[in-house]
């Protein structure tokens, strides 16, 4: 594809001018409530078309050509490789009497490896190494589940970043795979019946693009994840080990094609807790399936399913049960969540239900009440009747211990610092649990908490020791500090924001700043560690800021709901206010500020740069949702209407979405900062056509502004998806490109020792 007919631009560091690839503008038009809307880049919705492939190749070439002018990129790759070369561990978990399992990464492995051992003190052995499934590391472990005894592992493999999983079954004792193969699994858990004869999983019908031959479907490189068609008709199946998938029992189907469904076997193996959701909203329905006395499933049992919660009024998450008493985390009449005990043996009608077959909320007992300010993020059962609760207080997390009667046994179990609990493993048969702690300046500490005799007798005696501590070679966190501030926006809302910087940072507005945000889907962004952010602090004297804007789950349901549908612009207002705070308090200045977000966060930064291009020096948007008029027509986009609404809902919703949709609001009257969009060719969550359309409009419209000097670029990764399972080698290259782009755009000087100019040029030519 020719690159000669598009507007040229000069790099902001004075690098030679370059031309954007020519992008054909079509004449396609859509109509919404009598309003016609042009869709000139509809041809880019065909990801495998030769014209699209040529366009992607040409765009990548322009981006590589720009980044080769960074004197830091080669040093960044080297330092990232060094920094990532540290041992990493997950929390261990137990199965059976003595099996212990844990994920480990020796440092530079593309994918973490699952290990097994007989007891905590035994020598670990490899159970599953995904690195051997694809030479380039693009095969990753997806959904997985183990039998209660630890004898069998059902594991899904996702290839090239796609959300599709193929499930196999492995014998733990000798690591041998059985003949079972389960296809077309997506957005699924894996949960075994306690007779260990089979497991529940969720799947879709094979998409129309993949009604292929058996030979094609058996090929690991056969393309999955490049399709754009909407996935529908999710259903829960039961697979009996040793039988073909065609004989799997369909346990429950969604009554509406766009709903999602999942299934979980209860702690005692007596029931299956089936949840149905119509979108990503914090509401679900619950169906309870009793199993046989021997904890097996037979087809006749399907007639005994009981609808416990038959309306979408709140979220109901299973925690544990004692007989017919179920402990459930819910936001029913509790926006910051509470734990209730649901006695399904009470009431009339079907066993364990109220008169209409649904659980009666009037009979529910509150175990952990809703806190006045803190959000109940999770609850885990341990040591018989004990419950470990994770609360979030102003975004920082804390631990507490309760019993099932609701008595608080110990509040504020000591944590290493202000941060977050990124993993917690516990089971009712153990008198201990493990949790992983992380923070902006803490790579990770795995703590082992043992409950002593006092706790077993109803008290709260416990001891806590460091099980593993993760350290990054060459990084000294003592030179940096984390501060939390609160930004007051125009409507009076106080938005929390963390600021991480070197101690004693001069407040002169000269520091380059990386501002990150998300603000959607009730997802919280607590403090967490990142190697790339560490390098930004360490080598560029940079500031990192994380704004916990509305739309997230940090402050409860009202905080989430204040950033959805016709209130979505609150997210953008909050984020721009966070940027203004950093500038006003002289952490940075507008030319030195880069905003960054991914997925829904990609929408966030794109909408903000369209609204306030003068406020930023650079924008990095990853795998963003950017065409807000059509997002719900591709893959799983229909589930996001709980946050965004749909342009087909009403004229009011159409006009609102159109007013901020990044693809439809590129400015003709303003100069844009440097923009880098990143996406992947196998992203079947947020399909890459969103980014293709937005960068095309930016280059075509904003690129023609007479004062537009900053680059408008896109980077498309091959054999990668929405982010999960990305091989470390690819992650290092992507992060090096992102940091190099930021450093050029913000004129951020590094402390790297560079090669001679001639050597730099030779190295750049190889990029």
* Sign of the dihedral through C-alpha 375, 433, 146, 154: positive
Same domain, 39 and 162: no
Structure tokens at 617: 């020096």
Same domain, 69 and 215: no
Q: Which residues pair with 8 in a beta bridge?
A: 19
Same domain, 55 and 116: no
**Cα Dmax for the chain:** 84
Tell me, yes or no, whether 695 lies in a domain. Answer: yes
Same domain, 76 and 167: no
Which tens digits make up the pLDDT trace of 462-510?
999 999 999 998 899 999 999 999 999 999 999 999 999 999 999 999 9
pLDDT of 10 higher than 90: no
Higher pLDDT, 235 or 13: 235
Candidates 420, 598, 601, 582; CA nearest to 519 is 601
Find all residues with CB under 8 Å of 244, minimum gap 6, and list them: none
Mean pLDDT of 632-646: 98
Q: What is the pLDDT of residue 9?
A: 43
CB 720 within 8 A of CB 728: no
pLDDT of 458 higher than 80: no
% of the chain residues with pLDDT over 70: 91
Cβ count near 118 (within 10 Å): 15
Mean pLDDT of 360-370: 95
Note down the domain range covering 164. Answer: 88-265
State how many domains the chain has: 2
Residue 117 to residue 302: CA distance in whole angstroms: 38
Mean pLDDT of 393-404: 97
Q: What is the pLDDT of residue 220?
A: 55
Under the banding of pLDDT at 50, 70 and 90, the label for residue 359 is confident
Q: Which stretches of 201-265 are DSSP H helices?
A: 214-218
Candidates 484, 502, 601; CA nearest to 543 is 502
Q: Which stretches of 245-323 are DSSP H helices?
A: none
CB 167 within 8 A of CB 143: yes
Tell me, yes or no, whether 337 lies in a domain. Answer: no
Q: Is 491 one of the catalytic residues?
A: no
Same domain, 120 and 212: yes
Which tens digits make up the pLDDT trace of 728-745?
999 999 999 999 999 999
Residue 59 to residue 689: CA distance in whole angstroms: 13
Tell me, yes or no, whether 682 lies in a domain. Answer: yes
Candidates 378, 459, 385, 388; CA nearest to 428 is 385
- For residue 178, the domain's CATH number is 2.130.10.120
Which tens digits make up the pLDDT trace of 322-342?
999 999 999 999 999 999 999
Same domain, 56 and 123: no
Average pLDDT of the chain to the nearest whole number: 92
pLDDT of 511 higher than 60: yes
Cβ count near 716 (within 10 Å): 21
**Assign residue 231 a region: left if phi > 0, alpha if psi is -120 to 50, beta otherwise?**
beta
Q: Print the SS3 string covering 220-267.
A: CCCCCCCCCCCCCCCEEEEEECCCCHHHCEEEEECCCCCCEEEEEECC
Same domain, 62 and 202: no
Q: Is 638 one of the catalytic residues?
A: no
Candidates 11, 13, 4, 2; CA nearest to 747 is 13
Candidates 129, 182, 134; CA nearest to 160 is 134
CA angle (645 as vertex; 633, 545 as ends), nearest 5: 100
- Of 162, 188, 524, 599, the catalytic one is 599
Residue 732 to residue 607: CA distance in whole angstroms: 28
Tell me, yes or no, whether 400 lies in a domain. Answer: no
Same domain, 136 and 157: yes
Candidates 582, 555, 585, 544; CA nearest to 493 is 555
Mean pLDDT of 234-247: 98
Phi, psi of 704 (to 5 degrees): -95, -5
Structure tokens at 703: 């690129």
Which of 248, 265, 282 delimits the end of a domain? Answer: 265
Mean pLDDT of 189-218: 84
Under the banding of pLDDT at 50, 70 and 90, the label for residue 749 is very high
Find all residues with CB under 8 Å of 642, minimum gap 6, and list them: 278, 279, 280, 281, 564
Q: What is the pLDDT of residue 741?
A: 98
CA 315 to chain centre: 19
CB 616 within 8 A of CB 593: yes
Which of 204, 239, 265 delimits the end of a domain? Answer: 265
* Sign of the dihedral through C-alpha 495, 498, 501, 503: positive
CA angle (415 as vertex; 412, 418 as ends), nearest 5: 100
Tell me, yes or no, whether 220 lies in a domain. Answer: yes
Q: What is the pLDDT of residue 221?
A: 57
Under the banding of pLDDT at 50, 70 and 90, the label for residue 208 is confident
Same domain, 33 and 140: no
- Of 683, 690, 696, 750, the catalytic one is 683
Q: What is the pLDDT of residue 19?
A: 85
- Of 90, 539, 722, 750, the catalytic one is 722
- For residue 704, the domain's CATH number is 3.40.50.1820
Cβ count near 329 (within 10 Å): 21
Tell me, yes or no, whether 348 lies in a domain. Answer: no
Higher pLDDT, 483 or 756: 483
Pair type for strands 712-717 and 674-680 = parallel
Under the banding of pLDDT at 50, 70 and 90, the label for residue 452 is confident
Same domain, 98 and 31: no
Which tens digits make up the pLDDT trace of 550-585?
999 999 999 999 999 999 999 999 999 999 999 999
Same domain, 720 and 680: yes
Tell me, yes or no, whether 564 lies in a domain. Answer: yes
Which tens digits make up the pLDDT trace of 265-323?
999 999 999 999 999 999 999 999 999 999 999 999 999 999 999 999 999 999 999 99
SS3 320: strand
Number of C-alpha atoms within 13 angstroms, CB side, residue 193? 22
Which of 230, 265, 300 delimits the end of a domain? Answer: 265
SS3 423: strand
Which tens digits make up the pLDDT trace of 661-695?
999 999 999 999 999 999 999 999 999 999 999 99
- Work out the burial of residue 732: count CB atoms within 10 Å of its CB; fewer than 13 is exposed, 13-18 middle, 19 or more buried: buried
Q: What is the pLDDT of residue 216?
A: 59
Q: Is 48 one of the catalytic residues?
A: no
Mean pLDDT of 5-32: 68
Same domain, 736 and 693: yes
Tell me, yes or no, whether 441 lies in a domain. Answer: no
Candidates 519, 506, 580; CA nearest to 555 is 519
């Amino acid at each position: 594809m020719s690159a000669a007919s598009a507007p040229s631009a000069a790099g902001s560091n004075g690098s030679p001018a370059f031309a954007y690839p020519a992008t054909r503008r079509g004449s396609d038009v859509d109509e919404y409530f009598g309003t016609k809307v042009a869709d000139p880049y509809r041809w880019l919705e065909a990801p495998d078309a030769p014209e699209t492939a040529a366009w992607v190749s040409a765009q990548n070439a322009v981006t590589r050509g720009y980044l080769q002018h960074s004197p830091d990129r080669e040093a960044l790759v080297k330092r990232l490789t060094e920094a990532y070369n540290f041992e990493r561990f997950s929390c261990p978990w137990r199965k059976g009497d003595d099996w212990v399992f844990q994920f480990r990464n020796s440092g530079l492995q593309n994918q973490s490896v699952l290990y097994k051992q007989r007891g905590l003190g035994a020598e670990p052995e490899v159970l599953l190494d995904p690195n051997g499934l694809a030479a380039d590391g693009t095969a990753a472990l997806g959904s997985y589940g183990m039998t209660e005894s630890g004898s069998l592992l059902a594991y899904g493999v996702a290839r090239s970043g796609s959300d599709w999983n193929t499930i196999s079954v492995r014998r733990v004792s000798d690591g041998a795979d059985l003949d079972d193969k389960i296809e077309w699994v997506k957005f699924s858990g894996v949960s075994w019946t306690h007779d260990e004869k089979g497991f529940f999983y969720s799947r879709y019908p094979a998409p129309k693009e993949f009604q292929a031959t058996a030979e094609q479907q058996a090929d690991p490189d056969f393309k999955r994840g490049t399709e754009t068609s909407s996935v529908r008709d999710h259903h829960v199946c039961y697979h009996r080990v040793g039988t073909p998938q065609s004989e799997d029992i369909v346990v429950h189907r969604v009554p509406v094609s766009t709903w999602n469904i999942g299934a979980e076997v209860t702690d005692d193996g007596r029931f299956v807790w089936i949840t149905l959701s119509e979108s990503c909203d914090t509401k679900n329905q619950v169906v309870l399936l009793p199993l046989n006395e021997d904890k097996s499933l037979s087809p006749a049992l399907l007639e005994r399913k009981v609808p416990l919660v038959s309306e979408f009024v709140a979220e109901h998450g299973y925690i544990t049960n004692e007989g017919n008493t179920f402990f459930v985390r819910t936001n029913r009449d509790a926006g910051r969540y509470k734990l209730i005990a649901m006695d399904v043996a009470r009431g009339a009608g079907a066993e364990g239900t109220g008169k209409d077959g649904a659980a009666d909320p009037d009979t529910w007992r509150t175990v952990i009440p809703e806190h006045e300010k803190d959000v109940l993020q999770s609850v885990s059962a341990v040591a018989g009747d004990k419950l470990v609760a994770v609360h979030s207080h102003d975004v920082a997390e804390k631990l507490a211990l309760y019993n099932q009667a609701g008595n608080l046994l110990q509040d504020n179990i000591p944590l290493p610092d202000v941060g977050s609990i990124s993993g917690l493993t516990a089971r009712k048969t153990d008198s201990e649990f493990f949790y992983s702690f992380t923070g902006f300046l803490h790579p990770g500490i795995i703590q082992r908490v043992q409950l002593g005799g006092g706790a077993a007798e109803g008290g709260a005696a416990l001891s806590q020791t460091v099980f593993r501590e993760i350290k990054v070679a060459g990084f000294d966190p003592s030179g940096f500090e984390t501060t939390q501030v609160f930004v007051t926006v125009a409507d009076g809302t106080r938005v929390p924001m963390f600021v991480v910087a070197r101690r004693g940072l001069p407040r002169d507005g000269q520091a380059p700043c990386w501002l990150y945000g998300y603000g959607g889907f009730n997802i919280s962004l607590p403090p967490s560690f990142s190697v790339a952010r560490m390098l930004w602090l360490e080598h560029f004297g940079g500031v990192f800021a994380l704004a916990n804007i509305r739309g997230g789950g940090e402050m409860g349901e009202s905080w989430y709901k204040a950033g959805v549908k016709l209130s979505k612009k609150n997210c953008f207002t909050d984020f721009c206010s966070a940027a203004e705070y950093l500038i006003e308090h002289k952490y940075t200045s507008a030319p030195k500020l880069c905003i960054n977000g991914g997925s829904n966060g990609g929408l966030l930064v794109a909408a903000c740069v369209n609204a306030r291009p003068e406020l930023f020096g650079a924008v990095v948007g990853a795998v963003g949702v950017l065409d807000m008029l059509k997002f719900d027509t591709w893959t799983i986009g229909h589930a996001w209407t709980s946050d965004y609404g749909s342009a087909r809902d009403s004229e009011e919703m159409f006009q609102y979405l159109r007013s901020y949709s990044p693809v439809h609001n590129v400015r003709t009257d303003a100069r844009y900062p440097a923009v880098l969009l990143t996406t992947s060719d196998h992203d079947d969550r947020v399909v890459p056509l969103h980014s293709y359309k937005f960068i095309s409009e930016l280059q075509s419209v904003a690129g023609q502004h007479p004062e537009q000097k900053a680059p408008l670029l896109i980077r498309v990764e091959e054999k990668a998806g929405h982010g999960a399972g990305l091989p470390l080698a690819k992650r290092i290259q992507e992060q090096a490109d992102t940091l190099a782009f930021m450093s050029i755009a913000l004129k951020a000087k590094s402390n790297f020792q560079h090669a001679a100019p001639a050597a730099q040029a030779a190295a750049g030519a190889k990029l």
